[in-house]
Amino acid sequence: MLLVVSYALGHGRRSAAATVAGVALGDTTAVIASLLGLGALLAASAMLFTVLKWVGAAYLVYLGVKLWRAPVSANGIPAAPPAPPWKIFLHAYGVTALNPKGIVFFVAFLPQFVDRGGDVAWQLLILGSSFVVIATVNALAYALLAAGARRAVRRPSVQRAVNRTGGGLLVGAGLLTALWGRPA
C-alpha cells in the first residue's frame, strides 16, 4: 500500500492506475504460484526462501532510498519528469509478485477455507480470485485517496516529509523482510 500511495502522491491518478494494475497482477501471480506448488517449495526450501527474501528486501530498500532522495518540486512544478506508467507498473508488479511471504501466505491461508469433500481446485480458484479482487479494490481506494490528496502536498517541505516518511517506511519494510524468519 505504501508503494501505491507514494506513486499516487508523486505522480497522480495515471500512475495510480499503473500501480494498482501492477499490484493486481502481482497478487494474481503470487496466488497462481502458490497454487502450482511454489508456496510449498518455498516453505520446504530454506535456501530458496532466503534467496527470494533477500532479493525482495534489497529491492524494497532500493525503492526506499530512491524515494528518500527523490527531488521535490518548487511551487507545484515537478522537479523531475514523471516515471512512465509501464515502469511504475513493473515496480508494483515486482514488489508484489516476488514477495516470498505473500506466496507462503496463500499456501497457509487458503486451504483453511477449502472443503476437502468438494472440488478443491475450483474452491482455491474462487478463494484466490476473491483475494485478488479485494486487494485490487483496496489498492485502488488508497491510490484514489492519495491522488486526491496530491494537491495538498504541493509545498516542498510537505513533499520532502512525505518522500522521507515513505522512503523510511520502505527501507524499514525491506529490513524487516530481511530479518524476518521463515514461517514454521
pLDDT per residue rounded down to tens, the chain (184 residues): 777 887 787 777 888 889 999 999 999 998 888 877 765 666 677 777 777 678 777 877 887 898 788 877 665 555 556 678 899 999 899 888 887 777 777 777 777 677 777 887 788 889 889 999 999 999 999 999 988 887 777 777 877 887 888 888 888 888 887 787 655 4
- C-alpha separations of 180 from 2, 46, 64, 138, 174 in Å: 19, 13, 18, 25, 10
Residue 118 falls inside a structural domain: yes
How many structural domains does the chain have?
Answer: 1
Do 65 and 5 contact (CB within 8 A), yes or no? no
Residue 140 falls inside a structural domain: yes
- For position 104, what pLDDT does the model report? 72
pTM of the complete model beyond 0.75: no
Range of the domain at 138: 2-56+74-155
Residue 165 falls inside a structural domain: no
